[in-house]
Amino acid sequence: MMTDDTPAPPPARIVFPGDRLAVSGSGIRLGNGVAQVNPESAAASASAGAQAAAASPVSPASPHAPNGSTSSAELLVTKVGVLEQGRGRVGVNSRSKRYIPSVDDLVVGIVVEAHAENYRLDIGSTQPAVLPALAFEGATKRNKPNLAVGALVYARVVVATPHMEAELSCTSPHFKKDWVTGQSLYGELVGGYSFTCSTRLARDLLDEDCYVLSCVGRHIPFELAIGVNGRVWINAANHLHIILITNAILNSEGRSKEYITTMVQKIMQAL
């Protein structure tokens, strides 16, 4: 609950395609909806007397630079939505079902092709992504996962360029558990149910303070894997719980906390 001494959250900033953001710093990545302006084009525009758009005090990095870092740049907004900055990233959160891969995104993919050296996964982008067969914790040539076509996989985007297929990995830089233990953070999602939603709702679900997930979690234990590509996997004790949780999540988009609280209470009456 917010008190009189609690500072109010900053108002959301709506941006539109063509808006420009002057940024500086290093170590922050660019998310969806923003692109770095060509330095040569920017210099030519400046010499011609073009006026820059409103500046934002963020310091994202170019996804085309090594490790996605840059010292200073001018960003161009490419889609309408809410400007988001934080967690080492700047991007635009919009209600869209089309996904554009970005480095370090968490995605839920469907295996569409299985080869000896790699898998091709549908992640909701314009083309499938590639998942190397050895891109699992502890995987070797003799001991590696055998994914079938149609399997669901929770993975992380490690390479994303505009004109090439995205590359995925099921390894984590922080959580080290071999895939054979079944405790690894990424890998095949067995059982459960998957559904699609807007990319905006998916990013809201990934928030640590996601209200609908906390409300549902007070009544029903469940497992959840959320991909920013708009695909969500859920598992619970029985099918009825899965259906109720799925309905609560899909009906929570854009709703107030009061509405979500009432909705969850009514859903729980079905148990």
Amino acid identity at 123: I
Write down the residue that tokens 């635009």 correspond to.
92
State residue 175's pLDDT score: 73
State residue 19's pLDDT score: 82
Give the pair of three-digit tokens for residue 255. 């709703």
Residue 174 contacts by C-beta under 8 Å, 6 or more apart in sequence? none
193-268: which CATH architecture?
A: 2-Layer Sandwich (3.30)
102 closest CA partner among 166, 163, 154: 166
Give the pair of three-digit tokens for residue 252. 């929570």
State residue 92's pLDDT score: 77
Q: What is the pLDDT along the chain (271 residues), one digit of tens a residue?
A: 444 454 545 566 777 787 887 766 666 677 777 777 765 544 444 444 334 334 444 433 333 443 344 455 678 887 777 777 766 677 776 666 678 888 889 999 999 999 989 999 999 988 899 999 999 988 888 888 899 999 999 999 999 887 789 999 998 887 777 766 767 789 999 999 999 998 889 988 988 889 999 999 999 999 999 999 999 999 998 999 999 999 999 999 888 999 999 999 988 887 7
State residue 72's pLDDT score: 59
Work out whether strand 72-77 and strand 20-24 pair parallel, antiparallel, or are unpaired.
antiparallel
Collapsing DSSP to helix, strand or coil, 15 comes out as strand
Q: Is the dihedral of CA 105, 106, 108, 109 positive or negative?
A: positive
Residues 270 and 244 sit within 8 Å (Cβ to Cβ): yes
Residues 21 and 53 sit within 8 Å (Cβ to Cβ): yes
Residues 199 and 96 sit within 8 Å (Cβ to Cβ): yes
State residue 248's pLDDT score: 93
State residue 97's pLDDT score: 60
Residues 97 and 230 sit within 8 Å (Cβ to Cβ): yes
Enumerate the H helices of 177-268 as residue ranges: 199-205, 211-217, 239-250, 257-268
Domain ranges, ordered by start, for the chain? 14-93, 110-189, 193-268
State residue 88's pLDDT score: 61
Interior CA angle at 271 toward 233 and 212, to 5°? 45
Residues 167 and 159 sit within 8 Å (Cβ to Cβ): yes
Collapsing DSSP to helix, strand or coil, 245 comes out as helix
CATH topology match: 110-189 vs 193-268: no
Residues 253 and 198 sit within 8 Å (Cβ to Cβ): yes
State residue 64's pLDDT score: 40
- Dist. CA 205–CA 218, nearest whole Å: 16
- Dist. CA 203–CA 197, nearest whole Å: 10
Task: Please check whether the domain covering 110-189 is classified as CATH 2.40.50.140.
Answer: yes
187 closest CA partner among 137, 127, 129: 137
Residues 191 and 162 sit within 8 Å (Cβ to Cβ): no
**Model confidence pLDDT, tens digit, residues 39-77:** 554 444 444 433 433 444 443 333 344 334 445 567 888
Q: How far is CA 235 from the centre of its chain?
A: 20
State residue 30's pLDDT score: 73
**pTM, to two decimals:** 0.69
